[in-house]
Structure 1
């Protein structure tokens, strides 16, 4: 059920990795190399994806190359939201992909988060779905539209400065194709036309009540590829494995890219989920355990007989 393991999320964005704790990303590189090796040892068939970068920055990728990270990575992932947060046009998507291809021509490039919100108008999102598909389907092997559901306002968005970011913060709550109350938006039918070629990215919160509805909607839409996450921080909650098991069992019919991220506060250099961990081996151990649990390697004899 797991096609790929993404190692962290947006490591070059301070909302997901604290640059004050790790200003040169040396700790991130060490952590990622260890995790990539652990995933490969657990199941070499699972693709190893560098945490999707946002902004799309070839200099960051060159830094990772210099640290040896790309020696252990199969896929470089990009995140882009040109109609909401980025300072470039939606029409620049092919050029943005080409910028990274030029740096890592031997690696696959995936777009693991792309979205257009309905903050201003649902018609903007409707246009964005179709234009994104025109620009990216056939250009990269995997595309994941962010997201299926709006984020409920009462949950809060994972961002560093929250309401102080003004409209940038409030846009986080309007990225879904379906409103938080379950009402479909105009863009949903347009997405359905592309669902076989453009997967979905949907975060599920711990014990998320939307899980079963999400699965039903994705099957109705014809979604084949899904990106989601398993939180290292959540791993330390009571009954965490019960929730992880339920989530992954529900998603078993999809080819899934699972993102492993979020430092448990008690294991961070700083007590925050964006902090580098004190011991990077802990993250590698978590990644290995999740792969062994949800994507165990098939022995060669069994594969041959299957």
Structure 2
């Protein structure tokens, strides 16, 4: 069910990793190395990806290289949102990939690229078309964020919420489908770029949209999907029942699963962005999910799939 495992999400973004608790990212680096090794021991055919960085920062990638993290993964991820959150223009996509390529020879996955419809749905349509043209053939994976708008009642996973002004509210308009499930104009454009372009869709715990999402992705010709399994959610009652249901529903797709989010009671501070008290516990969570959903060939009827680095 899993072709690739991403170690954390946007580790250089304070919405996902607390730099006050780990100012030099040494704790993150140690945790990532442990997780990469644990995943590799469970199934060496799984592509291990350093969590997609946002912003795209060659300095941060150099830091990870210096800590030795890149020796324990098979690819690195980058996330770009030049029309919403980044301080660069959309036509600079090839340049941003080049900056990371200058630091590492590892394959560079564009594990999130997106444009919100916050200002106008026509902007998202134009941005999707431009993104596809600029990234086509330049990365082994390009995954669009996202299928659904974020429901307003849920709130975005970000540290500062409404004090971010319009930056916060853009989180709710990244989907090809509106919150009520109706298509935006960009959906028809996206259809022109599958299956080469994949999707990113995070599913909340017991997410009511799961079955509809699967139906939409099949209709759109999507073959690769990035989603997440939350370490924090693993402590909820019936967590494995939900994980099983989610992964079974997604079994027909090439899934990149992102392992992230610290349980409050296992962090240095009670927050999902906190470094864990015991980083080996995160590594064991990653290993346990690989054992459950992507066991090595000699333990499974179906072999795990791996994307070529080319």
TM-score of the two chains, using structure 2 as the length reference: 0.96
C-alpha distance in 1, partners of 2:211/2:78?
A: 28
1:21 is aligned to 21
C-alpha distance in 1, partners of 2:203/2:254?
A: 16
Q: CA deviation at 1:154?
A: 0.5
Secondary structure class of the residue paired with 1:204:
coil
C-alpha distance in 1, partners of 2:135/2:123?
A: 18
Task: Report Cα offsets for 1:123-146 as digits up to 9, x if no partner.
Answer: 100011111110111110101100
Alignment of 1:232-271 (within 5 A): 232-271=231-270
Task: Report Cα offsets for 1:50-97 as digits up to 9, x if no partner.
Answer: 010000001101111111101101111000000011011000000000
1:44 is aligned to 44
2:73 is aligned to 73
C-alpha distance in 1, partners of 2:118/2:143?
A: 20
C-alpha distance in 1, partners of 2:130/2:195?
A: 16
C-alpha distance in 1, partners of 2:148/2:132?
A: 19
Secondary structure class of the residue paired with 2:4:
strand
Task: Report Cα offsets for 1:167-216 as digits up to 9, x if no partner.
Answer: 00000000000000111000000001102110000000000000000000
Alignment of 1:181-220 (within 5 A): 181-220=180-219
Q: Which runs of 5+ in 1 are unaligned?
A: none
Q: CA deviation at 1:300?
A: 9.0
C-alpha distance in 2, partners of 1:28/1:302?
A: 35
C-alpha distance in 2, partners of 1:169/1:274?
A: 17
TM-score of the two chains, using structure 1 as the length reference: 0.97
C-alpha distance in 2, partners of 1:301/1:238?
A: 28
Which runs of 4 or more aligned residues in structure 1 lie more than 2 Å from their structure 2 counterparts after TM superposition? 300-304
C-alpha distance in 2, partners of 1:109/1:183?
A: 33
Distance 1:303-1:249 versus aligned 2 partners, 3 A rule: closer
Secondary structure class of the residue paired with 1:159:
coil
Distance 1:209-1:301 versus aligned 2 partners, 3 A rule: closer
Alignment of 1:1-306 (within 5 A): 1-105=1-105, 107-299=106-298
Q: CA deviation at 1:303?
A: 7.7
Distance 1:90-1:46 versus aligned 2 partners, 3 A rule: same
Secondary structure class of the residue paired with 2:297:
coil
C-alpha RMSD over aligned residues:
1.2
Q: CA deviation at 1:10?
A: 0.2
Secondary structure class of the residue paired with 1:189:
helix
Q: Which runs of 5+ in 2 are unaligned?
A: 304-310
Task: Report Cα offsets for 1:252-290 as digits up to 9, x if no partner.
Answer: 000000000000000000010000001000000000000
Q: CA deviation at 1:302?
A: 7.0
